[in-house]
Amino acid sequence: MNKRFNIEKYLFTVPVVIYSLLLILLPLLYVLLISFFKSDSYGGMIYTFTLSNYMEIFNITYIRIFLKSIGIALITTAICLCIAYPFAISLMSKKETTRNLLIKLVMVPFLMNSLIRTYGWIVLLRKNGIINSALVGTGIISSPLSLMYNNIGIIIGMVYTLLPFMILPVYSAVSKVDPNLIEASYDLGASKTKTFTKIYLPLTISGAFNGSLMVFIPAIGYFFITDILGGGKIMIIGNLIKNQFLTARNWPFGAAISIFLILMTLILVSIYKKLGGKMDDLGGM
Amino acid sequence: MDNVIVRLENITKKFDDKTIIKNITLDIYEGEFITFLGPSGCGKTTLLRIISGLEEATEGKVFIEGEDVTNEIPAKRKVNTIFQNFALFPHMTVWDNINFGLKMNKVPEDEAEKRIKRAIKLVQLDGFENRYPAQLSGGQQQRVAIARGIVMNHKVLLLDESLCSLDLKLKREMQGELKKLQKKLGITFIYVTHDQDEALTMSDRIVIINKGNIEQLDTPKEIYSKPNTAFAADFIGESNIIKTEITHIKDDVAYVKLTDDIELAVPNNDYKKGKVTLIVRPENFNPHKNPVQESFAGVVKNYMYDGAIVKLEVEVGDRIIKVHQYDSDIFEEGSTVYIDIDKNKVIIIGDKNE
Amino acid sequence: MNKGKWIKTLTIILTFIFLYAPIIVLVIYSFNKSKMNVIFTGFTFDWYKTLFHNTDLLEAFGNTLIIAGVSTVVSTVIGTISALGLYKYNFPMKKLINGLIYIPIVIPEIVLGISLLSVYTIANLKLGMPSLIISHIAFSIPFVITSVRSTLNLLPKEYEEAAYDLGASRFDVFTKVTLPLIMPGVISGATLALTLSMDDVVISYFTAGPGSNTLPLQIYSIIKTGITPDVNALSTLMLLATVIILTTSALYQSRKIARRGY
């Protein structure tokens, strides 16, 4: 029957070939190419081969930004894990219909505009915002705390924006753990901590890594959160790339940083695959 | 049973380098219930799919109702398949499922309605027309699948392990019903299964398939009593399969070695001296408390009560043989038992294939 | 209830407070008379009225609806076709393509944003609505593909075979059997594409030109310059719309399940 399938085969495969070559491969190859160009002082590019853009990354100023950015992303990932696991495990004590409803409710705020949600945090966190007013008003503290325009604000914003990406894979992994295993573990005298580290964690590691990947990688690039909740004072890699492309107009350097990010992503993804993770589970909701 | 309705001619099927079906030629007659029986991976389902057109034969020809359909698509072949998982469209009601094929073949609506109603009646699903498959039990789903097939009014229905997903009790019930339905419709059922009980109870003829070859093709009774090969004997019913030799032949009696000390005298059937495979069904060994004529002694190793019969495992020399007992004598484990044999029911296969 | 159960319920409640606090705050303040979002001085609908006179915001919202609408339809169609093609057929470069489609899902959005911007520049494509729409299609397709593929993987091939066997043409098999059966995956892929498009800041930031503002970009610039309460009103309306859509789809789903049993 093979011959008769031909027209259909083209109809179903040509679009994805064109799409992935034209809108994914070509742009990335072009970024790779310009990362080896020189920039002139007018925002243009000189088409000669150079490695100087990559050397520039090792400038102490940029290394600081990289470390800060990775630090913020790591802390964000860690906090998300610390919220997602207790939440997922607690959820398992509820009936299945309740669980499904609650998981949908986790998604609802996520379906709203992320900037608006971030803005909501300004209202809560700023000097005369709700949290500070409440704390001062009740006399717990005497003068308002600095909760935004610093790292705290940025991390709160990142955690908030990316939390669903952690909760969903972790919950889906935790819900697949056979409850009998947990009971057996308690039955054999294991403590709660032991049960978590010896049973839950090993069985859900690929879900946890999936979530970590989907939190850590965007956290490096979300420049709008540092802009809004960091007050524009704090730079992460995302801000750096944005500036190179839109303000400083040094495209080759911006491209080199982007290639660096892609390499980092590919390494993380290959670790995820080594841990037994499936590509189709990434970014699914 | 005279008109050939499906003819397979020298069918060979290869997937990549693996040959799944090796040069099978087979005639299937109008109105018969024929079963392809074999272990999983033997090629029986592939053979069925070659008839339906869902699979293409690498070599050979397929004829349906005398017409060469080797190069026809499934839609053009006058056969329909009942799939193992029934493949009822979950988004359509029972009625729409049964109507699907009629609609695709542009059968006029009033005619279609008559046929659907008749099919629903035949499979006893009246009142379920507007249900969705997920709201039906396994047995009901099976009936819808059959109705969807027979409503097409073709003379052949292909059934791929259609009962194996049902539980044992329901399976027994459906076996009887399928057979009755087939007789009533008078069409050919080609049934694929790995379950010998199913094959024995329902079929007019059984095709035993092993490793892509037809091992034996005969009625259930013939296959049971006269298996052609050790494989057929082993696959259908229980057997003692003993590799041994005919030591000598004297007039119309052949002497077959059972152990080093015991020889069985069986009627000679053009046997030759030399290596053979001896096949004896457990019920053809008769256990006795005391020696009888031409009996040999053994020690009871295992005694299993199984309702109507008792299953014994008896050590004779260096062999363990399976013996079925139908009377009420009790043999303790470790006690001595005397066994004689139904000489006429012994099967001896020459060594050519082994 | 024992102690363990209490702790679990409390954990769930605290997580939800964290998730909903900023949203509830915005909803409450959208009805606040005071322009400062601190003390509730009285109930008013004024900000909703102001919102409907905020032409910049409304125009940006209109753009977002157009972009999201077009990109969702296009990426759902291409994504569904592609998922089927990748599932059924073998073709040269299939392995490469299968790897490429995950890239927009895993790499930081900003990298996709700047790489699309770079290509538009060499292709001499003027930045504006077309470049925005193409970009949104580009990052949505992989999500549709993975969503459809996950339903396809669960679909026994016997459904299609049964349809062929019963005499259906290839077209009928596709429209009457395959498509209805993968519909849940198609719909969730489309929902995902719509949500991503409506919410996208990063990629739009790089691929929007002058005069093609989207709602997120407009909100972004408002937040940076100083917020006005009509944004609160807008967020409340968007929340309302989200909740209505989710509830209707949940009701529709449960009705369908009640009716069909699956």
**Which chain B residues contact residue A4 at CB under 8 A?**
73
Assigned domain for C76 exists:
yes
Assigned domain for A260 exists:
yes
Q: In terms of domains, do C193 and C248 share one?
A: no
Measuring CA to CA, which residue among C76, C17, C48 is closest to residue C238? Answer: C48
DSSP state of C43: B
**Which chain A residues contact residue B73 at CB under 8 A?**
1, 4
Q: Which residue of A has its CA nearest to B58?
A: A1
Assigned domain for A20 exists:
no
CATH number at residue C147: 1.10.3720.10
Assigned domain for C33 exists:
no
Q: In terms of domains, do C152 and C247 share one?
A: no
Assigned domain for A21 exists:
no
Assigned domain for C169 exists:
yes
Which pair of tokens denotes residue B226?
């006269």
Q: In terms of domains, do C113 and C198 share one?
A: yes
First to last CA, chain C: 34
Assigned domain for A8 exists:
no
Assigned domain for C10 exists:
no
Q: In terms of domains, do C203 and C244 share one?
A: no
**How many Cβ atoms are within 10 Å of B258's Cβ, its own excluded?**
20
Could you tell me how many CB contacts below 8 A there are between chain A and chain B? 3
**Which chain B residues contact residue C259 at CB under 8 A?**
132
DSSP H helix total and E strand total for chain A: 14, 2
Assigned domain for C2 exists:
no
**How many Cβ atoms are within 10 Å of B294's Cβ, its own excluded?**
11
Q: In terms of domains, do C150 and C161 share one?
A: yes
CA dihedral angle for residue B81, residue B86, residue B87, residue B90, rounded to 10 degrees = 140
Assigned domain for C30 exists:
no
Q: In terms of domains, do C165 and C257 share one?
A: no
Q: Which residues pair with B210 in a beta bridge?
A: B213
pTM: 0.84
Q: In terms of domains, do C150 and C132 share one?
A: yes
Q: In terms of domains, do C178 and C237 share one?
A: no
Q: In terms of domains, do C196 and C94 share one?
A: yes
Domain count for chain C, please give it: 2
Assigned domain for A137 exists:
yes
Assigned domain for A31 exists:
no
The answer to whether residue C169 neighbours chain B at the CB level (below 8 Å) is yes
Q: In terms of domains, do C260 and C203 share one?
A: no
Per-residue pLDDT of chain B (354 residues; tens, 9 = 90+): 468 999 999 999 998 888 999 999 999 999 999 999 999 889 999 999 999 999 999 999 999 999 999 999 898 899 999 998 899 999 999 999 999 999 999 999 999 999 999 999 999 999 999 999 999 988 899 999 999 999 999 999 999 988 877 888 888 888 888 999 999 999 999 999 998 888 998 999 999 999 999 999 999 999 988 888 888 888 888 889 988 888 888 888 888 988 888 888 888 878 888 888 899 999 999 999 889 888 899 999 988 888 888 899 999 988 899 999 888 778 888 889 999 998 888 888 876 443
Whether B75 sits inside 8 A of C162 (CB atoms) is: no
Whether A112 sits inside 8 A of C238 (CB atoms) is: yes
Could you tell me how many CB contacts below 8 A there are between chain B and chain C? 70
**Which chain A residues contact residue C143 at CB under 8 A?**
283
Q: Which domain holds residue A165?
A: 54-281
Which of B53, B81, B132 comes nearest C261 by C-beta? B132
Tell me the per-residue pLDDT of C197-254, one tens digit each, with 9 for 90 and over: 988 889 999 999 877 889 888 888 888 777 678 888 888 888 888 888 878 887 887 8
Assigned domain for C13 exists:
no
Q: In terms of domains, do C111 and C208 share one?
A: yes
Q: Which domain holds residue C233?
A: 229-262
Which pair of tokens denotes residue B101?
């094929």
* Consecutive H or E run containing C252: helix C229-260
Asked if C113 and A256 touch (Cβ cutoff 8 Å), the reply is no
**A94 burial type by CB count under 10 A (0-12 exposed, 13-18 middle, 19+ buried):** middle
The length of chain B, given as a count of residues: 354
Which pair of tokens denotes residue C106?
């895993």
Assigned domain for A147 exists:
yes
Q: Which residue of A has its CA nearest to B73?
A: A1
In degrees rounded to 5, what are phi and psi of residue B57? -75, 145
CATH number at residue A263: 1.10.3720.10
Q: In terms of domains, do C219 and C257 share one?
A: no
Which of C156, C172, C181 comes nearest B85 by C-beta? C156
Subunits that touch chain A (at least 3 Cβ pairs < 8 angstroms)?
B, C
Q: Which residue of C has its CA nearest to A112?
A: C239
**How many Cβ atoms are within 10 Å of A51's Cβ, its own excluded?**
10
User: Crossing angle of helices B168-185/B109-122, nearest 10°?
Assistant: 130
Tell me the per-residue pLDDT of C100-159, one tens digit each, with 9 for 90 and over: 999 999 999 999 999 999 999 889 888 999 999 999 999 999 999 999 999 999 898 899
Assigned domain for C32 exists:
no
Domain count for chain A, please give it: 1
